[in-house]
Amino acid sequence: MSCSLRVTSFDKGTNDNCFYCSSDGIYATTVHELTHAGHRELDPGMFSVLHSKNCERLMLRESWAEGVETIVTNDRYKRLSSTYINPTNDNIGWNYQRQRNTVDEMTEYTPIVADLIDNLDQNEVFSNIYPTDRVKNYNLQQIQKALDNCRTLDCWRSNLKSYYHNSSEQYLNELFGYVKGVLNNNNPKKCK
């Protein structure tokens, strides 16, 4: 299977105005799209055209790619600048705003992957209007293996529980609960 990716230094904003992407934006978009390509290669059934309108599948695909993008880009740019990412500062780090959204503001691009990895509970640190995130210390390889061949959030969560022992796994239901809430929110930008 061949794959074509095209990443440019310009992107369309929400009102179709083009804006310039800096090097971290180009890097992040490339990682995001390569993650989709890799996911499609490992699990072509997840991208079946028969299920192209399935919001839960779209959420799994986009949240996974968004998560890899966030973790890899922040890891890369943190190495270049020791002040680049600080989870308690709203203005530092790639995709910092994803974890500062309420369930009603979220789309299929949820921060579930970052929430599985980081030690930040945005509900406790910032405001109780944000989802509670007491899960921590999974890694990208574990999250990806648990996602393989899953078509639902329940499958992904169950695989994380059964494949790995994690000291915070008792909070997985709570964490995946907010993501299920996103499926039912009324955000007009969300998949339908």
Sign of CA dihedral 119, 158, 35, 49: negative
The pLDDT value given to residue 82: 47
The pLDDT value given to residue 88: 56
Contact (CB, 8 A) for 153 and 136: no
The pLDDT value given to residue 90: 53
The pLDDT value given to residue 132: 95
The pLDDT value given to residue 12: 54
The pLDDT value given to residue 91: 52
Sequence ranges of the domains in the chain: 22-183
The pLDDT value given to residue 80: 58
Q: What is the mean pLDDT of each run of 10 residues along the chain (192 residues)?
A: 54 52 86 96 90 89 96 82 51 76 95 93 90 96 96 97 97 97 92 82
The pLDDT value given to residue 188: 92
Which helix (H) or strand (E) element contains residue 130? Answer: none
Pairing relationship of beta strands 18-20 and 10-12 according to DSSP bridges = antiparallel
Which helix (H) or strand (E) element contains residue 121? Answer: none
Closest CA to 155 of 40, 43, 37, 38: 43
